Amino acid sequence: MFKRIGPGMLIAAAFIGPGTVTTCIRAGVDWKLGLLWALLLSILATLVLQEMAGRLGLTTSKGIPGLIRDRTQNGLLRYSLLGIILIAIVIGNAAYEAGNISGAVLGLQALTGGSGQHYGALVAGALAFVLLWFGSSRLLERIFTSLVLLMSLSFLLTAVLTKPDLLELAKGLFIPDLKGEELLTVVALIGTTVVPYNLFLYSSLVNEKWKTIGSISLMRTDILFSVIVGGLVSMAIVITAAGSGVASVQGVMELARGLEPVYGRMARYGIGVGLLAAGITSAITAPLAAAFVARQCFGWPEDRKDWRFRLIWMLVLGVGVGTLSLDVRPLQVIFSAQVANGILLPVIAFFLWWAINQPSLMRGHANSRLQNLWTFLVLALVTFLSIWSIFRILTDAF
Q: Which of 388, 4, 50, 35 is nearest to 234 (CA)?
A: 35
- How many Cα atoms sit within 13 Å of 110 on the Cβ side? 28
- The CA distance from 278 to 13, in Å, is 7
292-337 pLDDT tens trace? 999 988 989 888 889 999 999 999 999 888 877 676 555 555 556 6
109-162 pLDDT tens trace? 777 766 555 577 888 889 889 988 987 777 777 887 887 887 778 778 878 878
8-329 CATH: 1.10.4160.10
368: left (phi over 0), alpha (psi -120 to 50) or beta: beta
C-alpha torsion 78→353→217→42, nearest 10: 110
- The CA distance from 139 to 144, in Å, is 9
Q: Give the 3-state secondary structure of residue 159.
A: helix
Q: What is the pLDDT of residue 315?
A: 94
Residue 98 to residues 15, 93, 212, 258, Cα–Cα distance (Å):
15, 9, 37, 26
Q: Give the 3-state secondary structure of residue 330.
A: coil
- What are the sequence ranges of the domains in the chain? 8-329
Cβ proximity of 161 and 237 under 8 Å = no
End-to-end CA distance of the chain: 50
Query: Mean per-residue pLDDT for 199-228?
Result: 87
299: left (phi over 0), alpha (psi -120 to 50) or beta: left
